[in-house]
Amino acid sequence: MSKQDEEPVELTMILFYKTEKAVLMGSTEGSNGIWLPKSQITEQRIVGRTKPGVRLGRNKPRLAPKEGAPIVQFKLAHWLAANNHLVD
């Protein structure tokens, strides 16, 4: 089965930071984030928010904004999720 044939996986992660081409996402507030290319993310929607002011990330922590950081549910290419150890 080729990379293109695999079904995307659905994930829920906290959005730490975004740029024009990528997003920094984490599975928990204090976890190291993973940079993911926006081009590989589909069907994203905000499903909640963290508490305001919580520490986001471990290496260069940021504080969540006053409205809280978005918790995002999205689909990601399976091969990319596997390469980043987000799925088995």
pLDDT at 70: 96
pLDDT in tens, the chain (88 residues): 555 668 999 999 999 999 999 999 999 888 889 999 999 999 999 999 999 999 988 877 888 999 999 999 999 999 999 999 999 7
pLDDT of residue 57: 85
Confidence at residue 60, expressed as pLDDT on a 0 to 100 scale: 79
Beta partners for residue 76, in sequence order: 9, 41
User: What pLDDT shows up at residue 1?
Assistant: 53
Full residue range of the structural domain in which residue 67 is found: 3-83
With b for 16 or more beta-carbon neighbours within 10 A and e for fewer, the 59-87 pattern comes to eeeeebeeeebbebebbbbbbbbeeeebe
25 found inside a domain: yes
Residue 69 lies in a domain: yes
Q: Count the domains in the chain.
A: 1
* Polymer length in residues for the chain: 88
- Would you say residue 88 lies in a domain? no
